[in-house]
Amino acid sequence: MNILVVGGAGFIGSHMVKRLLVDHHNVIVIDNLSKGFRDAVLCDSFFEVDIIDKVATGKVFANHSIDVVFHFASFIEVGESVKFPEKYFKNNFEATRSLLDIMVQFQVKQFVFSSTAAVFGNPEYSPIDEAHPKHPINPYGESKLMVEKMLEEFDKEYGLKSVSLRYFNAAGADPQGELGERHNPETHLIPLVLQAASGRRDAISIFGDDYDTPDGTCIRDYIHITDLADAHIRAIEYLRKGNQSAAFNLGNGKGFSVREIIDAAENVTNKKIPIRLHGRRAGDPATLVADAKLANKVLGWKPEFTNIRDIIQHAWNWENKFPW
**Residue 279 vs 304, nearer CB to ligand NAD:** 304
Please return the burial class of 168, using the count of CB atoms within 10 Å of its CB with bins 0-12, 13-18 and 19+. buried
Q: Among 286, 280, 279, 168, which Cα is nearest to 218's?
A: 286
Instruction: Sketch the per residue contact string, 266 through 305, with ligand NAD: x for CB under 6 A, - otherwise.
Output: ----------------------------------------
Kindly name the residue from 88, 140, 211, 238 that is annotated as catalytic. 140
**Residue 188 vs 271, nearer CB to ligand NAD:** 188
Q: Does residue 74 belong to the site contacting ligand NAD (CB under 6 A)?
A: yes
Q: Tell me which of 102, 109, 112, 116 binds ligand NAD, using CB under 6 A.
A: 116
Length of the chain: 324
Calculate the alpha carbon distances from 179 to 15, 58, 253 in Å.
Answer: 7, 29, 25
Q: Does residue 36 belong to the site contacting ligand NAD (CB under 6 A)?
A: yes
Taking the CA of residue 319 as centre, how many other CA atoms within 13 Å lie in the half-sphere pointing to its CB? Answer: 24
**Residue 211 vs 251, nearer CB to ligand NAD:** 251
Please return the burial class of 111, using the count of CB atoms within 10 Å of its CB with bins 0-12, 13-18 and 19+. buried
**Residue 72 vs 316, nearer CB to ligand NAD:** 72
Cis before residue 185, ω within 30 degrees of 0? yes
Q: Does residue 147 belong to the site contacting ligand NAD (CB under 6 A)?
A: no
Q: Does residue 34 belong to the site contacting ligand NAD (CB under 6 A)?
A: yes
Q: Tell me which of 69, 95, 197, 286 binds ligand NAD, using CB under 6 A.
A: 95
Q: How far is the CB of 279 from ligand NAD (least distance, A)?
A: 24
Angle between helices 258-269 and 308-319 (to 10 degrees): 60
**Residue 35 vs 259, nearer CB to ligand NAD:** 35
DSSP for 34-84, please give it: SS--GGG--SSEEEE--TT-HHHHHHHHHHS---EEEE--S---HHHHHH-
If one counts every other C-beta atom within 10 angstroms of the C-beta of residue 228, the result is 23
Near ligand NAD in 150-169, by CB under 6 A: 167, 169
Near ligand NAD in 237-266, by CB under 6 A: none
Q: Which residues are part of the catalytic machinery?
A: 140
Contact residues for ligand NAD, defined by CB under 6 A? 7, 9-13, 30-36, 50-52, 72-74, 76, 91, 95, 114, 116, 167, 169-170, 183, 188
